[in-house]
Structure formats: C-alpha cells, structure tokens
Amino acid sequence: MISAMNEREFLKQYDKSAFEQPMFSVDNVVLTLGKGELEVLLVKRGEHPFKDCWGLPGGFVDLEKDQSIESTALRKIKEKTGVEPDYIEQLETIGNATRDPRDWSITTVFTALIAKQRCTPTDENVVLANWFAVSELSAMTLAFDHTKIIQRALKRLRDRATYSLVPCALLGEKFTLSELQKVHELILGKKLEAKVFRRRVENSGQFEETGEMTSGRGRPAAYYRLRSGTDAFNFEFIRTV
C-alpha cells in the first residue's frame, strides 16, 4: 500500500542511487586575537583521511544530541575551547564529489569569533587542538579544502569589518575604541581614521560607555560595552552598486 510507505522506503525501491546519501559534516572557522595577529583554531586529525594533518574543528551531526546544525557547530566549538563563541554565523555550504578522497562530501561551514581570554585552558588535548596565526597557514597543508575555507572566512570577516562592528566579538566584555579600531585595522590590513571610526561607533548606537577608564601611559580611554538589549550583530546595509 503505497501511501503507507514512507518516502525513504519509496525512494529506496524507486531509485537506489537517488537515496544514497552523501556524507554531511559541520566545520568551524574559529577565530581569535593573538599578539598582533588573527589566529584560527585547528585540531590534529587522529584518523584518516588526512591523519595527523591539522584541520578545522568539526564533525558529524549527532542525531540524538543536536537539535540543529547550529547546535552541532556550537557543541564542537565547546568541545575544543570550553566555551561558546561570542559570535557565530553560517558562512556557506560546500558539497562536491572531490573534496573528500573517499566519497561525495558536504560541509556546512560556520565562522565563529571568540575572545581568547574566555577560553578555558586547553585540557589534555592541548597538542590536539591549537591556535595558529593565520600568516602561518600558507606554510601548512591542512586537511581537505580547509585552507580555502579559511580564506573565504577571512574574506567574509573583512567584509564585516568594513560595514559592521561584528569584530568587537574578538575583544572581551569591555574595550576601548582604540582597541576596537586596532582590531578592525588588523582585519582590514590598513590604518583607519580615528575620527571616522569613532563616528561610526557612535552612530551605530550599539555601544555604551561603562564609565570605567583605562589607566597607564597616555590619556585614559573610556571603556565601552555592547548596549544591553542590542543585537550588535544586526547592522544595516546602506546602498550602493
């Protein structure tokens, strides 16, 4: 009785090859701020393919534990860093017959930003998960297409840095505008005008002064934080071809 058959059964009998499913995984480009450089979290693969290569932290969906692919991404990130990231967004999905030497394979990639000081000291896995300066990557051979994926994540981050203040997630709870500006300069690879940058921050309405000030050499700077109740990661597009 056809209508009692579920679609999976139906497809199995209808066309075996149409039912054969590709492998699906989630990969994360987790970025943080190193000393004067962006760093990306990599894990050493214990199994082949690409055994002993470094690759992005990720893995398969756990149909029992995970409610969504976002849950999978967060779970994997938490496994390696001890915490949830300060910002996460879906980058893109790559699926083709060649990226995995074994078989057809699909990965949905997330980009996450995390303030390094929030990460709990790495557990026994310390040699299995580590931060690498993005400039080191050109000298490394990563698993699968992970080098290309990281490049695409960095490009997206550069886009975000030009028209949003999302990169503030790389800093902690509070930060000065100079610090935030330096992060943007680091990402964009160029100097920004302090006046222009401050205007943007103020006009965004996404931040507020904490009231605290830095101390040290030079004029003290005001600390800012995300305005409570504001989703700082909603930003408006303004025009233009």
Sign of the torsion angle spanned by Cα atoms 228, 112, 153, 96: negative
Contact between 104 and a second copy per CB under 8 A = yes
Q: Choose from DNA, a second copy, none: what does 124 bind? Cβ within 5-8 Å by kind.
A: none
Return the structure tokens found at 170.
């790389």
Contact between 137 and DNA per CB under 7 A = no
Contact 122, 131 (CB under 8 A): no
Helix 177-188 vs helix 146-163: angle between axes, to the nearest 10 degrees?
130
Among 44, 178, 185, 204, binds DNA (CB under 7 A): 178
Listed in order, strand segments (DSSP E) in 114-228 are 129-133, 175-176, 207-213, 222-226
First to last CA, the chain: 56
Q: Minimum distance between the CB of residue 239 and a second copy, rounded to whole angstroms?
A: 5
Written as one letter, the residue type at 174 is K
Contact between 218 and DNA per CB under 7 A = yes
Distance, CA of 133 to CA of 34 (rounded, Å): 7
Query: Which range touches DNA (CB under 7 A), out of 51-59, 106-114, 133-141, 196-204?
Result: 196-204
Which CB sits closer to DNA, 56 or 177? 177
Contact between 10 and a second copy per CB under 8 A = yes
**Binding residues for a second copy restricted to 34-63, rule: CB under 8 A:** 47-49, 51, 59-63
Task: Work out the burial of residue 73: count CB atoms within 10 Å of its CB; fewer than 13 is exposed, 13-18 middle, 19 or more buried.
Answer: buried
Q: Using CB under 8 A as the criterion, which residues of the chain lie in contact with a second copy when the complex forms?
A: 3, 6-8, 10-11, 17-24, 47-49, 51, 59-64, 66-69, 90, 92-98, 102-104, 106, 108, 159, 162-165, 200-201, 203-204, 206, 235-241
Q: Using CB under 7 A as the criterion, which residues of the chain lie in contact with DNA when the complex forms?
A: 176-179, 193-196, 198-200, 203, 213-222, 239-240
